[in-house]
Chains A and B, each alone.
Chain A
Amino acid sequence: MNVIIMGCGRVGAELAHLLDAEGHKVTILDADTKNLERLPSDFGGIALAGDAADEDVLKKAGIAEADAFVAVTRDDDRNAMAAQIAKQIFDVPKVVCRIYDPLREEFYKSLGLEAISPTSLFARLIKEKLGD
């Protein structure tokens, strides 16, 4: 699978590492080059500096050939915009984005985006643990 990840925070870097280790073709983007240092030294994918909520940057990252796009910056609006560009403009088959705000997670789901809210996910998980 050819995957583009936007946002090289803890989640982005870990996901890039996992997919790369499994032999997938991974391209990871971050507007702040310092964040790219999170990648492990044996990372075999491509790391690019740039803001992926920008059509030209996505093209440079090879979005036209991507099988999947993942948006995990810390900014909900940026993730939503980039994910919609990937899905609606470039027809990427699989698009996932992180949306912290649970209310907006519902909204973007209603627009057909695969949105995940870590906020509601963790709250549910912790609640389950407490119930044990």
Chain B
Amino acid sequence: MYIIIVGGDEVGSRLGKELLANGHEVLVIERNAERCDHLADELGSVSLCGDGCEMAVLTKAGIARAGMFIAVTHEDDDNLAACQIAKQKFNVPRVIAKINSPKNEHIFAKLGIEHTVDVVGLVLEHIKEQAGISPLIRLLSLKDEGVEIVLLRVTRDLPIVGKPIKELPLDYAASSLLLRQEQMPMVCTPDTVLETGDQFVFLIPSKNIELLRASLVGASPGGEQ
């Protein structure tokens, strides 16, 4: 597939390299000339120096035959502009934008760019988990379905220890999976009781994530009688 990437920093160049290794035809568009030279050294002749939001540059890049378009610059307005042009002007079938400010996610969706990746948010999530700040790791976000797959590491200080999983705002308790030390992974029921050391993988409606976070920090989960 022919894939155009706008933005040639760490994310753009690594993505380009991997897609090339997977046999795709790739073009990385980068505005900064110095960065462009660097890309040419790193990836070979698959970079174009120019503004990936400019119609003329995109036309030169052959955007009309692109199967996928990915914008990963540091500026949300640039990523939005590039993706809107790719999708609405050139009908590229799959368009993905990196968002740098998480609050722009709903704006992108409203403006027709549904597939966004909050790269910084993902990094923070993993750092917090490694640092032991958050017991929750969001493994995958299925935006079209409005659900997320999340891993909870049950540590002894969590209020949910010794309680059944139905006390968490999950909605799909019966499709969750429990990894308990020295046991085979098991499918849960709403009455499965969590123990310290458990690793609990579950589906949750995206809108319930904050509620879940609150129920994990508060000594007494709010909202209940």
Residues of A that sit less than 8 Å from B by CB:
53-56, 75-78, 80-82, 84-85, 88-89, 101, 103-104, 107, 110-111
Complex Cα spacing A111 to B111, Å:
10
Question: Chain B contacts of A84 at CB under 8 A?
Answer: 80, 107, 111
* Contact status of A55 and B103, CB under 8 A, knowing A103-B56, A107-B55: yes
Cβ-based interface call for B151 (8 A): no
Query: B77 touches which one: A80, A107, A111 (CB < 8 A)?
Result: A80
CA distance A88 to B80 in the complex (A): 14
Instruction: For residue A75, give the distance in angstroms from its CB to the closest CB of chain B.
Output: 7
Given contacts A77-B77, A77-B81, A81-B77, contact A101 B103 (CB under 8 A): no
A selection of 8 A-B contacts at a CB cut-off of 8 Å is A54-B101, A77-B81, A78-B77, A80-B81, A84-B107, A88-B111, A89-B110, A103-B54
Contacts A56-B103, A89-B110, A111-B84 given; indicate if A104 touches B78 (C-beta within 8 A). no
A55 to B102, CA, bound (A): 11
Contacts of B77 in A (CB 8 A): 53, 75, 77-78, 80-82
CB distance from B104 to the nearest CB of A (A): 8
Closest Cβ–Cβ distance, residue A99 to chain B (whole Å): 10
Task: Give the CA-CA distance A11 to B89 in the complex, in Å.
Answer: 29
Specify which chain A residues have a CB less than 8 angstroms from the CB of B56 in the assembled complex.
103
Partner of A81, one of B55, B81, B103: B81
- Decide yes or no whether B88 CB sits under 8 A from chain A: yes
Smallest Cβ distance from A97 to chain B, in angstroms? Answer: 12
| Chain A residue nearest in CB terms to B88 | A111
Q: A16 → chain B, closest Cβ, in Å? A: 22
B76-A53 in contact (CB<8A): yes
Asked whether A76 lies within 8 Å of B110 as measured between CB atoms, the reply is no
Residues from chain B with a CB closer than 8 A to the CB of A77 are 53, 75, 77-78, 80-81
Is B85's beta carbon under 8 Å from chain A? yes
- A84 to B88 alpha-carbon distance, docked (Å): 14
User: In the docked arrangement, what's the CA distance between A53 and B110, Å?
Assistant: 15
A110 to chain B: which residues have CB within 8 Å? 88-89
Bound together, the chains give a CA A130 to CA B183 distance in angstroms of 86
Closest residue of B by beta carbon distance from A106: B55
A76-B81, A107-B89 known; A89 and B55 CB under 8 Å? Answer: no
CB–CB B110/A88 < 8 A:
yes
Query: Knowing that A76-B81, A88-B111, A89-B110 are A-B contacts, what are 7 other residue pairs whose CB atoms are under 8 Å apart, sorted by A's residue number?
Result: A53-B77, A77-B53, A77-B77, A89-B107, A104-B55, A107-B88, A110-B88
A42 vs B146: C-alpha distance when bound (angstroms): 52
Contacts of B110 in A (CB 8 A): 88-89
Contact with A along B59-84 (1 / 0, CB 8 A): 00000000000000001111011001
